[in-house]
Amino acid sequence: MKATFALIKERKWATLLVLIVLVLLGSLFFNFGLGYEYRAVPEIEGTESNPVKSPEVPVGKKFEATHIKTPESVKGIYMTSWLGGVRDTEGNFYARENLIKLIGDTELNAIVIDIKDDTGQIGYEVFDSALKKIGSETKRIPDIREFIQKLHHNNIYVIGRVAVFQDPFLVKLRPDLAIKKATDGSVWHDRKGLTWLDAGAQDVWDYVILIARDAYVSGFDEVQFDYVRFPTDGNLADISYPFFDNTTLTRADQMKQFYEYMGGELGGEIPISADLFGLTTTALDDMGMGQILLNAAPNFDFISPMVYPSHYAAGSYGYNNPNQYPYEIVKKALDDGVAKLTAATTSPLKLRPWLQDFDYGGRYDATAVRAQINATYDAGLTSWLLWDPSVKYEKDALYLE
């Protein structure tokens, strides 16, 4: 400060001006860094007055994504973002390396990785500054872009999964977007204690679009949307919606608007898919959750009905214990889906079912898993995905390369 006053006294204005400019530049650099911050703020860019823009790679983060064309027949497995960051004592990512080897050794050619999982958190550091401000990113997979490049080097198609309306993280950050209790206006919880976003909130739609675009810039070949529905359990009689107007729209109408918005914003730009309940292939209504196969199919490149035999009630399709008939349950469910899409002059090859590779209600060994794969082919379809939340797959169910 004394030096500054001395410069003023001696009227060395040029020197003083240079110092002021340097201070200002230093302040800007300190505050804005490389163009993004890690601070969470309660705003979400992407409203009608502030439309979502495609993310750009920040200065200092030079990266150019490559992509693999969607295989004619996608045969994939699921991986959590948590597993993507597991290392051994020597720092090697042994768990995901085992999956790469499994894919390389068998008929598999694709992998589904969580982008934003059921916790609402993104499993890696994002590029986009608006997403960084929201603060949902983590470092579960510390090298996601290098990992995707390695997958591509091994000719593996990479699908990123985004859980949409079940999102406890965003509910805490933006409770105004959450489903509420009708009785007292507090945040509503389902049977598991989880919270949900209002399916009618366009801020949520724009948020997941921003995530999808950032993921594509990071190298994901396709983005898959899950939990694209209303909740199905908990005290459903004590629910109020701040955005969804059930006096003018049905749940199916609201979800159709969401599907159309996703297709309109991302269609032709990014390959996109949607996960639906398995019963949507057969049901004639939305089953109270808003999902109707023929509403979703025109707006996505692929639809993945979760035709897990264990999730069908006793008596479904005439089978008292669906777990004992994995081939028959999957075949009937997909036959119905194929018939629906064919009648609507939509390609049934859009169907890419999730098949069960986990034990629930019975043992799903290699024979049971292969039976579901064969049922998929016998229904006239060519693609399938295997789901196991523990990421332990029956290798003997898969053909070797």
163, 118 contact by CB (below 8 A): yes
45, 130 contact by CB (below 8 A): yes
pLDDT tens for 11-46 read 444 444 444 444 344 433 333 332 222 222 234 443
pLDDT tens for 112-151 read 999 999 999 999 999 999 999 999 999 999 999 999 999 9
pLDDT at 67 over 90: yes
pLDDT at 49 over 70: no
pLDDT tens for 319-367 read 999 999 999 999 999 999 999 999 999 999 999 999 999 999 899 999 9
- Distance between CA atoms of residues 231 and 227, nearest Å: 9
Domains and CATH numbers, the chain: 2-397 (3.20.20.80)
pLDDT at 57 over 90: no
What confidence score (pLDDT) does residue 63 get? 76
pLDDT tens for 208-259 read 999 999 999 999 999 999 999 999 999 999 999 999 999 999 999 999 999 9
CA-based end-to-end distance of the chain: 74
DSSP secondary structure letter of residue 326: H
More confident residue, 52 or 229: 229
pLDDT at 48 over 90: no
Which two tokens mark 395?
């290798």
- Distance between CA atoms of residues 249 and 81, nearest Å: 36
- Distance between CA atoms of residues 196 and 180, nearest Å: 9
8, 20 contact by CB (below 8 A): no
pLDDT tens for 363-385 read 999 999 999 999 999 999 999 99
- Distance between CA atoms of residues 161 and 111, nearest Å: 10
Residue type at 69? K
What confidence score (pLDDT) does residue 56 get? 52
- Distance between CA atoms of residues 205 and 170, nearest Å: 12
pLDDT at 4 over 70: no
Q: b vs e for 190-206, b when ≥16 Cβ sit within 10 Å of the residue's Cβ?
A: beeebbbbbbbbbbbbb
What confidence score (pLDDT) does residue 157 get? 98
pLDDT tens for 169-198 read 999 999 999 999 999 999 999 999 999 999
Which two tokens mark 288?
């109270």
Which two tokens mark 241?
């919606």
Reported pTM: 0.86
Going by C-alpha positions, the residue among 333, 250, 262 that lies closest to residue 293 is 333
Q: What angle do CA 161, 162, 166 make, to 5 degrees?
A: 135
Query: What are the start-end ranges of the H helices in 106-225?
Result: 129-134, 144-153, 168-173, 202-218
Residues contacting 44, CB < 8 A, separation 6+: 130, 134, 174, 203, 206, 207
More confident residue, 299 or 48: 299
- Distance between CA atoms of residues 349 and 332, nearest Å: 16
Residue type at 310? S
* DSSP-based three-state secondary structure for 163: strand
Which two tokens mark 180?
């509420």
* DSSP-based three-state secondary structure for 154: coil
159, 146 contact by CB (below 8 A): no
Give the DSSP H or E segment for 23.
helix 13-32
- Distance between CA atoms of residues 176 and 369, nearest Å: 43
The sign of the dihedral angle between the CA atoms of 361, 364, 369, 374 is negative
* DSSP-based three-state secondary structure for 50: strand
pLDDT band at 64 (very low <50, low <70, confident <90, very high): confident
- Distance between CA atoms of residues 389 and 357, nearest Å: 9
